[in-house]
Amino acid sequence: MVPIKVFLPWPPTTPMDWEVMVQDCLEAGWLCTLDLDHQQAEGLLESALVEFHNFIPMISVKLPYIRQFGYNAVIKIDDKDFNATNPGVWCHSLHDLQKREVFTDWSRYTKDEIIK
């Protein structure tokens, strides 16, 4: 399988265009990562993309100045309201989430190509 990664414009302009493109790649058997903002995550559930085993939604959560929060900071993966759609919440040490093996330096993105 050939991996493909797609970045969405924000705000989304024509979601059907990228959805069709990604679905075509998935149907061809490719692994496909779709990098989307957390604000688009719920809308993604309305598409057929989440039904594919070779689809990898990469949900981007912006958190500037991450190193300034200190050792005890916690990330909480919450629901949209109390007991609305998830069985509970997940809390992770921000320090533990910054392990070297899951870090990608910005210099690794210099060869990315924007596809229009």
Distance (Å, rounded) from C-alpha 97 to C-alpha 102? 8
- Choose the weakest-confidence range: 39-48, 78-87, 97-106, 107-116: 107-116
| pLDDT (tens digit per residue) in 37-83 | 888 888 888 889 999 999 999 999 999 999 999 999 999 999 999 99
Q: Does residue 45 sit in helix, strand or coil?
A: coil
Q: Return all residues near 12 (Cβ < 8 A) that are at least 6 apart.
A: 18, 40
- Cα 48 off chain centre by: 16
Q: Give every strand in the sheet of 3-7, ordered side by side.
A: 3-7, 31-37, 55-60
Tell me the domain boundaries of the chain: 1-62, 63-103
